[in-house]
Amino acid sequence: MPSSKSPVVVTCTAPVNIAVIKYWGKRDEELILPLNSSLSVTLHQDQLRTTTTAAISKDFSEDRVWLNGREEDVEQPRLQACLREIRRLARKRRSTGDEDPRTPSLSDRVHVASVNNFPTAAGLASSAAGFACLAYTLARVYGVEGDLSEVARRGSGSACRSLYGGFVEWQMGQRADGKDSVAQQVAPESHWPQLRVLILVVSAEQKPVGSTAGMQTSVQTSALLKFRAEALVPAHIVEMARCIQEQDFPGFAELTMKDSNQFHATCLDTFPPISYLNDTSRRIMQLVHRFNAYHGQTKVAYTFDAGPNAVIFTLDDTMAEFVAVVRHVFPPEVNGDKFLKGLPVTPVPVSDELKATLAMEPVPGGVQYIIATQVGPGPQVLDDPDAHLLGPDGLPKPKPAA
Ligand code: DP6
């Protein structure tokens, strides 16, 4: 047993995920149960990840949480829901006699510190990686095993999909208590090694409406959302899973773009309307369609969440040419070296014929930078004690390790 001076400390990382069939709308706000199933691709943590440390000690007088070095209000309802849920699961495990004698007492308080390795300014949904990491780390520190969908979901719906690597479906479930509203892997990260992901970070002109508030208004006002959830998404989920299983890129790409467009159509059908896309987002869409038309096949797909950034899917043999085309249409405004982050991409020229087909006037600075990445694994435990974000006193270390 640990002495009262040494807290039990665990550090884990979790990935970002991007939905190719979107979740938009809840049937239960409290339990965070969705109106439709959704399907996502887990991005590689070499490029984008959240790191979370949880420490438990008898010496702590209260639960405390730090995000990117700043202390947060631990009373936030969603944070409280995750803590309650994990302690409930831990209690259940103990009552069934599966207890590991080294696990800390449930009455001990927890300190949690979490950092993202990507700038919040990038406008990427960090809550999915953040709550998945919280659920996974708390489970490790409290000795809880099994599916953690419910814990992560109570933090943010899309977070349950970040509990697994590869390709993941969040099944909406049927039960009122949400026990069957869980994430499940459709295919592992090794399944489609050629798939590549480019995040095009676009300058936002305005602060977008958050997803939680946005989808609430959509549920209340959009008839299109209801129709989409009931009549269209079920078949799209089946078709998307088939495209992934068969590595059918054109099928995967077309359905991804159509689903993104349909999600943004439901946002416009919301009253008052919500628009997440800006002029640059629409130019990227045009660029993708013209690029595909030039090649006579669907080689690139876009998808957009609750903001103007584009997420592009393509295959390894097309990535360099598409990056060159993005550079051509959106010439980097300041430092050309910092335009491309993540996976290395060999510079290639854009042919005059392709430039002529695109027929797009360059917009300098429209895309701030690109992050090149690929499909990746689910959450990981970091064994190196240097990775801990909390020191032996249970307070954030002066310099975060991630
Ligand atoms: C457009 O999971 O952020 O990214 O459950 O209210 O926290 P809450 O919403 P959230 O919504 C994500 C919406 C989306 C689509 C998706 O990721 O499926």
Whether residue 333 is found in the same domain as residue 216: yes
Which ligand 1 atom lies nearest to the CA of residue 156?
7
Residue 123 in contact with ligand 1 by CB distance below 6 A: no
The CB of 321 under 6 Å from ligand 1? The reply is no
- Helix ranges (DSSP H) in 127-248: 127-142, 149-155, 211-221, 223-227, 233-245
**In the prediction, which pLDDT does 125 show?**
65
130 and 214 both lie in a single domain: no
Q: How far is the CA of 128 from the centre of ligand 1 (A)?
A: 8
In a domain, 74, yes or no: yes
| Residue from 168, 211, 263 whose mutation best tests the ligand 1 pocket (most atoms within 8 A of CB) | 211
Domain identity same for 66 and 184: yes
Atom of ligand 1 nearest to the CA of 127: 3
Which pLDDT does position 157 carry in this prediction? Answer: 97
Kindly give the confidence (pLDDT) of every residue in the chain, 402 residues in length, as a single tens digit, with 9 standing for 90 and above: 444 557 899 999 999 999 999 999 999 999 999 999 999 999 999 999 999 999 999 999 999 999 999 999 999 999 999 999 999 999 888 877 666 666 677 888 999 999 999 876 556 767 899 999 999 999 999 999 999 999 999 999 999 999 999 999 999 999 999 999 999 999 999 999 999 999 999 976 667 788 999 999 999 999 999 999 999 999 999 999 999 999 999 999 999 999 999 999 999 999 999 999 999 999 999 999 999 999 999 999 999 999 999 999 999 999 999 999 999 999 998 776 789 999 999 999 999 999 999 999 999 999 999 999 999 999 999 999 999 999 999 999 986 555
We report the CATH number of the domain holding residue 126 as 3.30.230.10
Residue 128 Ramachandran class (φ > 0 left, ψ -120 to 50 alpha, else beta):
alpha
Q: Is 278:175 a contact under the CB 8 Å cutoff?
A: no
Residue nearest to atom 6 of ligand 1 (CA): 212
Indicate whether residue 36 lines ligand 1 (CB < 6 A): no
| Helix (H) / strand (E) containing 102 | none
Q: How many angstroms does the Cα of residue 108 sit away from the middle of ligand 1? A: 32
205 shares a domain with 94: no
Same domain, 200 and 328: yes
| Terminal Cα distance for the chain, rounded | 29
Judge if the beta carbon of residue 11 lies within 6 A of ligand 1.
no
- Determine whether the shortest distance from the Cβ of 32 to ligand 1 is under 6 A: yes
149 lines ligand 1 (CB under 6 A): no
Which residue in the block uniquely carries the two structure tokens 């300098």? 364
For the segment 254-293, what is each residue's pLDDT rounded down to a tens digit? 999 999 999 999 999 999 999 999 999 999 999 999 999 9
Label residue 318 exposed, middle or buried (CB < 10 Å: 0-12, 13-18, 19+): middle
Specify the number of domains making up the chain. Answer: 2
From 16, 17, 21, 23, mutation site for ligand 1 pocket: most ligand atoms within 8 A of C-beta: 23
pTM: predicted TM-score of the whole model, two decimal places: 0.95
* CATH number, position 361: 3.30.70.890
Work out the angle at residue 209's Cα, subtended by the Cα atoms of residues 204 and 215, and round it to the nearest 5 degrees.
Answer: 135
Same-domain check for residues 230 and 137: no
In this structure, are 93 and 207 located in the same domain? no
Domain ranges, residue 184? 8-188+382-387
Do both 204 and 184 map to the same domain? no
Asked if residue 12 is part of any domain, the answer here is yes
Tell me how far apart the alpha carbons of residues 38 and 24 are, in angstroms, rounded to a whole number. Answer: 9
